Each structure stands twice: as C-alpha cells, then as structure tokens.
Amino acid sequence: MMKDDVRHKTATQRKNEAKQVVLDQCCRDLAASIKKNGGRKPYGAVSNMVIDLKGVYPWINRHVKGFSSLKKKGLLQLWKE
C-alpha cells in the first residue's frame, strides 16, 4: 500500500492538509495582488482576505503560520514570476 493512503491518515493530518491547501491559495492570491501593485503589498490585503474567509474558515486569522511566515517560505516571491 502507498504511504499516503487516506485510510491511514489521522483526522488531524487530514485537517492540517486541508488548512495548508487554503493557506497556499491565500498566498497565491496575495502574491497576485502584490504583482498587480508593482511589487508592494496592498494596504489591508491580508486583513481583508481574513475578513472574507473568516465565515468559511473560522480558524483563520492574520497570525496564522501561513501568513506570518510568508517571507520565510519564499511564497511571496511568486509575484516575481
């Protein structure tokens, strides 16, 4: 059997993977906003994104690891592509 077989993953692992998918999409959206704004993060972009997503994803806030470590992960470099 494959190591990544869904049946062998715990509920926490599946939940964390789902959160990572949401954060990855947020990072791509933020990178696109930065690209449109000449390389600068638009004022309130993260706050507005969090407000929009809070109803669907109550766990999200601007201090979520995915937002706070964007530069460390290099995800904001997407706008240069």
User: pLDDT of 45-67, one tens digit each?
Assistant: 888 888 998 899 888 887 766 55
pTM (predicted TM-score): 0.66
Q: What are the Cα distances from residue 3, in Å, to 20, 26, 53?
A: 19, 28, 32
Average pLDDT estimate for 13-21: 85
Identity at 25, one-letter amino acid code: Q
What backbone phi and psi angles, to 5 degrees, belong to 26? -60, -40
Percentage of the chain modeled with pLDDT above 70: 69
HSE at residue 59, side-chain half, CA atoms within 13 A, is 10
